[in-house]
A and B are shown apart, each in its own frame.
Chain A
Amino acid sequence: MNLGLKEMWRQKRKFSLIFVITLLIVLLSTLITGLADGLAYDNGATLRELDIETFQLADDADGQLTRSFIELPTPDALTPLGVKSMTLVHGTKKQDATLFTLPKDSTIGPELDLAVGDVLVDPSFLGDVEIGDTVRDFASGYAFTIVGTTDGRYSHAPVIWATQDTWEAFQTASGQPAYVSAWLGKADTSLAAMTKQDVVESVPGYTAEQGTFTMMRGFLLFIGAFILTAFFYMLTLQKLPELGILKAIGIRPRVIGTALVIQVMATVLTASLLATVLTGFTGTFVPDAIPFRFDLGNVLAYGAVMAVLSLIGTLLPLWKLRRLDAADALGGIGQ
């Protein structure tokens, strides 16, 4: 058995503690990143999940769906999308939500086999209201009946889905001119064509939030990796006298280095894999009200960065050992 693995096997308590500390540091990073990713995704989740890449918005809307008013008839090749922020009232309770509508037979969004006035709501909308309840738009008084749920968030507010027929009925009832917010699909029109990513980035507050989240992820990764690097650096420093003995009795530096590399890789990679599993598992039971997103690529990238930096932390003192008189490393045999 390799020298490094033998040490881990024979000193289980010490290496279990090292493993737990490593796991907690990696897990802290991946869990907080999961929350940040969840929040970041939450802002434009409904848009991201639409099965379409091109949006046509009014020129003066600056990419914001809630500011886009298209009063022209929708060309046959395109699909009308209605988006409106509103405050919904149930008894004395009020909740903000964003109404999204598509034609009943559209396959771009969720299946909308709904009657006029019926809506599907994001599960986070439920609580004060239940399926079967009726909620009213505070501004117009139009009534929506909740008939089911479907996941959807826009600008951190729950989305309620309805058909294009409901959208038109709502506009008629509230005395608004007939308009839609966007045309979905590729075609030559007089409107501003935008990619889905552009529209997501135009959601109010999205870009500023992403900056915050990027900083958050960056600091987490930097601090987590720094702590791990320092941790493994100190562990190797602590072992220098023992490594000095090995060097003194003629053991090859490669054997010493390989043992350390195997130890740090076994510890950090196992901790990263377990952190990945635990982060994925966490994503399955966090409440709907807490946006959480498990991005396997991100989590594995974190694990890889931590493994590389831990390795550097472990091997840095070896450079010192290489330059050190083995006699000095032994200690106690000075003069």
Chain B
Amino acid sequence: MKLTNICHTYDGQPILRGIDLQVDPGECIGIIGPSGSGKSTLLQILGLLKRPDVGLIELEGRELLAASEEERRLLRLNEIGFVFQQAHLVPYLTVREQLELVQAESESKQDPLHLLDVLGLSHRLNQLPKHLSGGERQRVAVARALINRPQLLLADEPTASLDFENGRRVMELLVAEARNHGRRVLVITHDERMLDVCDRVLLLQDGQLQPSPRH
């Protein structure tokens, strides 16, 4: 996956100034930066939720930004997995149904029960999100992101609402997905204790992406 010269302004203020980035299969990249530096905007652009003002995003040789709205939806469904800061599960669907909802829209044949078993959630299949702990909710969110076997996994502060132990577990899950299945994983986090599992840590500052001097 390759980003070339991604630029974006918000309310007339430049947020991203010519971001170049290459993410290889199996690589897990941590992105840090001060609040308001554009980390989430970068993730939204990568996740095809926002269009940058300028730039190119290529995935497996395909230029993604030229895609139509429907093509972008299909790319988000089949090629990209999202894990948000809050789990953002559908409150009225059980754990199993959260995955089935996404799977029903795609061509994925992955068994949701197997995935939930791997993530230690097989005993929670028929529970609603309100009956799960914070860590369990976030693991369900990870399972939902993985159910369609995406090539790119984007996580925005996935550990922010968790204690260290649960946060660590979620980070290890993400890294394992990158290593074991050749997925590209980008994680935004403020918690520097979580970054040691990443292959690279990049700092987003003043609209530019550069290697973090402290990692």
Closest CB in chain A relative to B134 CB, distance in Å:
15
The dominant DSSP class at the A interface is helix
Q: Knowing A7-B92, A335-B37 touch, does A251 contact B84 (C-beta < 8 A)?
A: no
The answer to whether the Cβ of A334 comes within 8 Å of any Cβ in the partner chain is yes
Cβ of B91 and Cβ of A242 under 8 Å apart? yes
Using CB atoms, name the residue of chain A closest to B81.
A249
The answer to whether the Cβ of B85 comes within 8 Å of any Cβ in the partner chain is yes
* B contact residues around A242 at 8 Å (CB): 90-91
Which of B41, B92, B144 has a CB less than 8 Å from the CB of A11? B92
The answer to whether the Cβ of B54 comes within 8 Å of any Cβ in the partner chain is no
Using CB atoms, name the residue of chain A closest to B49.
A327
Q: Which of B15, B88, B105 has the most CB of A within 10 A?
A: B88
Cβ of B102 and Cβ of A335 under 8 Å apart? no
A330, B105: Cα distance in complex, Å: 20
Closest CB in chain A relative to B82 CB, distance in Å:
6
Cβ of B101 and Cβ of A248 under 8 Å apart? no
* A contact residues around B106 at 8 Å (CB): 250
A242, B78: Cα distance in complex, Å: 20
The answer to whether the Cβ of B93 comes within 8 Å of any Cβ in the partner chain is yes
Chain B residues in the interface with A (C-beta under 8 A)? 10, 15, 35-41, 43-44, 47, 49-50, 73-74, 76-78, 82, 84-86, 88, 90-93, 97, 101-102, 105-106, 128, 144-145, 156
Chain A residues in the interface with B (C-beta under 8 A)? 3, 6-7, 10-11, 242, 245-252, 255, 325-327, 330, 332-335
* B contact residues around A249 at 8 Å (CB): 76-77, 82, 102, 144-145
Cβ of A335 and Cβ of B40 under 8 Å apart? yes
* A contact residues around B128 at 8 Å (CB): 10
* B contact residues around A251 at 8 Å (CB): 77, 101-102, 105
Cβ of B101 and Cβ of A333 under 8 Å apart? no
Cβ of A245 and Cβ of B93 under 8 Å apart? no
Cβ of A325 and Cβ of B76 under 8 Å apart? no
Closest CB in chain A relative to B152 CB, distance in Å:
13
> With contacts defined as CB atoms under 8 Å apart, how many contacts are there between chain A and chain B in the complex?
73
A91, B172: Cα distance in complex, Å: 99
Q: Knowing A10-B92, A249-B144, A335-B36 touch, does A325 contact B102 (C-beta < 8 A)?
A: no
27 example contacts (A-B, Cβ-Cβ < 8 A) are as follows A7-B92, A10-B128, A245-B88, A245-B90, A246-B90, A248-B49, A248-B76, A248-B82, A249-B76, A249-B77, A249-B82, A249-B102, A249-B145, A250-B74, A250-B76, A250-B106, A251-B77, A251-B105, A252-B105, A255-B105, A326-B49, A330-B84, A332-B85, A333-B40, A334-B40, A335-B10, A335-B35
Closest CB in chain A relative to B72 CB, distance in Å:
9
* B contact residues around A247 at 8 Å (CB): 73
Using CB atoms, name the residue of chain B closest to A8.
B92
* A contact residues around B144 at 8 Å (CB): 249
A3, B90: Cα distance in complex, Å: 10
The 4 A-B pairs of least Cβ separation, nearest first, read: A250-B77, A327-B49, A10-B92, A327-B44
* B contact residues around A11 at 8 Å (CB): 91-92
Closest CB in chain A relative to B63 CB, distance in Å:
19
Using CB atoms, name the residue of chain A closest to B13.
A335
* B contact residues around A246 at 8 Å (CB): 90
Which of B43, B92, B156 has a CB less than 8 Å from the CB of A6? B92
Closest CB in chain A relative to B68 CB, distance in Å:
13
Cβ of B50 and Cβ of A327 under 8 Å apart? yes
A242, B87: Cα distance in complex, Å: 11
A7, B94: Cα distance in complex, Å: 11
Cβ of A252 and Cβ of B90 under 8 Å apart? no
